[in-house]
Amino acid sequence: MNLATIAVRNIGRNKLRTSLTVLGVMVTILAFVLLRTVIWSWTAQVEASASDRVGTRHKISFIMTLPKRYAEEIKQVPGVTKVAYFNWFGAKDPKDENDFFATIATDPHDLFEVYDELKVPAEQKQSFFENRRGAVVGDSLAKKKGWKVGDKVTLKGTIFPGDWEFYVSGIYTATRSSVDRSTLYFHWDYLNDAVEARRKDQIGWDHQPDRQPGALGRDLQGHRRRVRRARSANAEHERARLAGLVLGHDCRRS
């Protein structure tokens, strides 16, 4: 008789105890897997985001605006070749106001230069560039809403009140899983021309790609020094911004 034989016999001596032990182990494993799945679902977008982009936003929230000249000043920094700026628009579909999706104003050319993971057919992209009321929407959003290229879409503004008309110029896909494919992007100029004078020439945040491998840390520190003159501005990694959205607050850095 060896230890294995003794162990097997001992297992069968008290079937209730053995069953409860097995059940306890199964519940523990299941609970661990479920918790890890929930945590992964929260952080997967952050982990898959670009590690080579630096951004500027208002210290309180990206919904609060900054002067557009900040983006223009960053473009003048030696080595910076691309800067994309954005405004959170916050519109709703009047047919279903409880169905949330992001609506963001941006410069069309800068959007695709900085976010090269966004993929749109060339003819649709050109149509977007040329149509001031044009918009590109994620394939997930287009499928959910039943939107097709060429459709006219009217959205109800919240931050910027009124009925806003857009034409679906293109439908984008993405090569990076961190990209939200349920977003509508449209021309920042269309928004800027329509708002009252006090709200003109304002942006919510901007992003710039890393100038060269390994330069991100230096870029971030320099970026912070540049915006520190304006107490309302803050600079952070793109991952920090996404983490703030996931956790339900903005990640603040001094």
pLDDT category of residue 2 using cuts at 50, 70 and 90: confident
Q: Taking 70 as the threshold, does the pLDDT of residue 192 lie above it?
A: yes
pLDDT score, position 254? 36
Mean pLDDT, residues 183-205 taken together: 93
Q: What are the residue boundaries of the structural domains of the chain, listed by start?
A: 3-46, 52-247
Residue pair 74/206 in contact (Cβ under 8 Å)? The answer is: yes
Mean per-residue pLDDT of the chain: 81
pLDDT at 233: 63
Answer whether 250's CB lies under 8 Å from 61's CB. Answer: yes
Task: Give the other-Cβ count within 10 Å of 22's Cβ.
Answer: 11
- Give residue 82's pLDDT: 84
Check residue 218 and give its pLDDT.
Answer: 54
Tell me what pLDDT residue 253 has: 39
pLDDT of residue 133: 97
pTM listed for this prediction: 0.73
Whose tokens are 């006090």? That residue is 198
Comparing 188 with 250, which gets the higher pLDDT? Answer: 188
pLDDT at 222: 57
Higher pLDDT among residues 62 and 24, named by residue = 24
Note the pLDDT tens digit of each residue in 29-79: 999 999 888 776 666 655 655 666 777 777 777 778 888 888 887 777 776
Q: What are 97-142's pLDDT values in tens digits?
A: 999 999 999 999 999 998 889 999 999 999 999 999 999 999 999 9
Sign of the torsion formed by the C-alpha atoms of 177, 180, 184 and 186: negative
Q: Which residues pair with 206 in a beta bridge?
A: 56, 85
